[in-house]
Amino acid sequence: MKSANHLFDFVIYKFQSLVLASLLLLFALVCAGCLSTHTYEENSAEHSFSDKRKALIEKFSVNDKVFSSLAAQIDLNDPESKDYWRWRIDQYMYGQYPEYQVIYDTYKQGKTFHQIYGLLPETLGPKSPLPTNIPDLPEGYFTENLEGNPHRGWQHVEDDTVYITYQGHLTDPYIASYNLVSHQWQGPYKAAESTLSKGDRKIDSHGRPIIEMDSKGHLHIVYGGHGGEREDGLNPFSIDTPHAGGRMLHVKSEKPYDISSFVYVNDITPFASYTKSYKMGNGDIYLFTRTGTHKSPWVYYKMKSGQQHFEEPVIITWPTPQQDNPVNVDTFYINPVKISDTEIAISFLWHECNFNEVHNKTNYGRINAYYMKLDTESGNFHNAQNEVLRLPITLKQANDKTLAFDSTKREETPFGTKPIILKGRTPAVAYEARTNDFREWRMTAYRNGEWVHSLPMPGTVNRTLHDSNNIEIMNIVDLEVLDKMAESLTAVVIYKTDDNKTIFAEAESHNGQNWRVTEEQLSLKNTRIQMEPVKNIINDTVAVVLNIKKGVSQRLYLWHEGKFRAPQIDKF
């Protein structure tokens, strides 16, 4: 009986094992079928995308030589070259032809950048090691030692308080406030985090922050951009790929008039580079930026009074590949300046760049000077002749309608520009003229229906400066008038001496032309000093911010009412 039971148990065990094995085999076959189906679907989607992409390239290439020019750059001996230029072609088509955007966005769902393009991680370093010894700078600063080029920060004056933001440690945005009456400081505090110079990336100064206050008292800081990150995908506002890193970001103070805590606002493109902003008489805020790296449009974002977010951008300029050599691209550098409660003047220069990222070290591809003006009430752009301009501005339209100085047949090239409004509201553009032998600011002005160039800067003709020993100063770097209403005008001035000293001093004049130093504030050898006026709502200069750099030492200072005003803290 026991033998029969054992035999029965053995048969049952074998049957169960056979059933289990069959089920496992069936499960494996089903999984293999699923995997096969998934792989088939993946391959089908890949082929479908490739076919659509190829069809669009063939369609657009009939009239657009950029595609063949970019494809011709592929180095068959470089394994990465094919994927690199496939990426560049994708970005060009994505920005130039919106029809491609839906096709590409569907294809990229669930894929990372490196799953789409077989490229090595980008190298944006190495970061220079921190110096162990730094030269001493005078007391009175309000920042830590700063790397890169933070310029003089950006300021906003509200009632009796100056709010200052600047690019601090590892290019993160910092903020401080100073009361013009009590002389009390708050901060500096780290306002937010930047992606620009983290890890082994070198310090990049393109992410300098700007600051504005909305009509509800909340502070807004925009910062950190130099073209965006590869992981952000393709840029709908550009024909150029990111190659410098750094997302443009926007933060808002959690509480009105409070600089201790900020929150992120997602309303601007992360690919943007450069920032400049102005608050108009009606409370609207205008933010000007370039929507990517070199071959990208310039736009403005508008935050209406009563709101706390920026609207969709208005495209001002558009880059255009050259017809005879499509690898080269004509684009611009713009510089907007608020000139009234309702107007923003814009100077700009032609920037000739290329898809190979080869930079002309002679003039850096910076050519000509142009002028136009934005009427914020109508939203129209006008040239010096007051003609309404059609947006976006291309090089052809710029040359036809806005050219203020043609440098193409001259030795001097304009490295930078800034708009000026002369007496009688005459349009003018200052440009930094450079040759191999000199570097100086000059002016072109619209007079009697035409532009006249190579003029001296306003206020510099017959201007003199004598030091306290009545010795004439020949090298005036900068002079900022403080009190324009008093009988005896006062100013702060930066000048250089023959023994390589840079002086920051107070000066006075009875006629606005002949100035005399009344008190030296700083006298530093082998040192660069830059100055930025801090202006109130009626455009009076109430203080100045100085950037003082000596070797690897660099700090910001606030000068107000005859003194350098420093926070009473010891963390620097």
- pLDDT tens for residues 463-479? 999 999 999 999 999 99
Both tokens of residue 564?
């350098």
pLDDT at position 380 over 90:
yes
- Predicted local confidence at residue 484, as pLDDT: 72
pLDDT at position 2 over 50:
no
Segment 20-32 mean pLDDT: 48
- Predicted local confidence at residue 535, as pLDDT: 94
* DSSP, residue by residue, 5-67: HHHHHHHHHHHHHHHHHHHHHHHHHHHHHHHHHHHHHHHHHHHHHHHHHHHHHHHHHTT-THH
Q: How many CB atoms lie within 10 A of CB 13?
A: 10
> What order do you get walking across the sheet with 553-560 strand by strand?
528-535, 541-550, 553-560, 563-564
Q: What angle do CA 439, 442, 445 make, to 5 degrees?
A: 160
- Predicted local confidence at residue 18, as pLDDT: 53
- Predicted local confidence at residue 191, as pLDDT: 98
- Rounded to the nearest 5°, which phi and psi values hold at 305? -55, 135
For residue 572, the number of C-alpha atoms closer than 13 Å in the C-beta half-sphere is 25
Least confident of 2-6, 365-369, 447-451: 2-6
Distance from CA of residue 151 to its chain's centroid?
A: 13
Least confident of 91-100, 146-155, 175-184, 498-507: 146-155
Three-state secondary structure call for residue 480: strand
**Spatial separation of the C-alpha atoms in residues 464 and 491, rounded to whole Å:** 13
Confidence of residue 46 (pLDDT cuts 50, 70, 90): confident
Confidence of residue 28 (pLDDT cuts 50, 70, 90): very low
More confident residue, 205 or 361: 205
Q: From residue 566, how far is each of 37, 321, 572 by CA, in Å?
A: 69, 50, 11
**Spatial separation of the C-alpha atoms in residues 507 and 490, rounded to whole Å:** 6
Report yes or no: 272 and 291 within 8 Å, Cβ to Cβ. yes
- Predicted local confidence at residue 544, as pLDDT: 98
- Predicted local confidence at residue 421, as pLDDT: 86
Segment 200-216 mean pLDDT: 94
The counts of H helices and E strands in the chain are 6, 32
- Rounded to the nearest 5°, which phi and psi values hold at 42? -65, -45
- Predicted local confidence at residue 41, as pLDDT: 56
Both tokens of residue 179?
């009361």
Report yes or no: 163 and 213 within 8 Å, Cβ to Cβ. yes
Q: What angle do CA 478, 453, 339 make, to 5 degrees?
A: 55
Both tokens of residue 368?
């000509």
List residues bridging with 432 in a β-sheet: 441
pLDDT at position 571 over 70:
no
**Burial environment of residue 88 by CB neighbours within 10 A (0 to 12, 13 to 18, 19 or more):** buried
Q: Model confidence over 63-106: pLDDT tens digits?
A: 999 999 999 999 999 989 999 999 999 999 999 999 999 999 99
- Rounded to the nearest 5°, which phi and psi values hold at 454? 60, 35
Q: Model confidence over 239-283: pLDDT tens digits?
A: 999 888 899 999 999 999 999 999 999 999 999 999 999 999 999
Catalytically active residues are 206, 274
AA letter at 531: M
More confident residue, 307 or 485: 307
pLDDT at position 140 over 70:
yes
**336 cis-preceded (ω within 30 degrees of 0):** no
- Average pLDDT over the chain reads 91
* DSSP, residue by residue, 99-144: HHHHHHHHHHTT--HHHHS--PPP---PPPPPPS------S-B-S-
- Predicted local confidence at residue 564, as pLDDT: 97
pLDDT at position 120 over 50:
yes
- Predicted local confidence at residue 24, as pLDDT: 47
Q: Which one-letter DSSP state was computed for residue 85? A: H
> What percentage of the chain carries pLDDT values higher than 70?
92
- Predicted local confidence at residue 17, as pLDDT: 56
Q: Model confidence over 514-549: pLDDT tens digits?
A: 999 999 999 999 999 999 999 998 889 999 999 999
Rg (CA), the chain: 30
**Spatial separation of the C-alpha atoms in residues 245 and 256, rounded to whole Å:** 32
- Predicted local confidence at residue 486, as pLDDT: 66
List residues bridging with 167 in a β-sheet: 173
Pairing of strands 514-525, 464-466: parallel
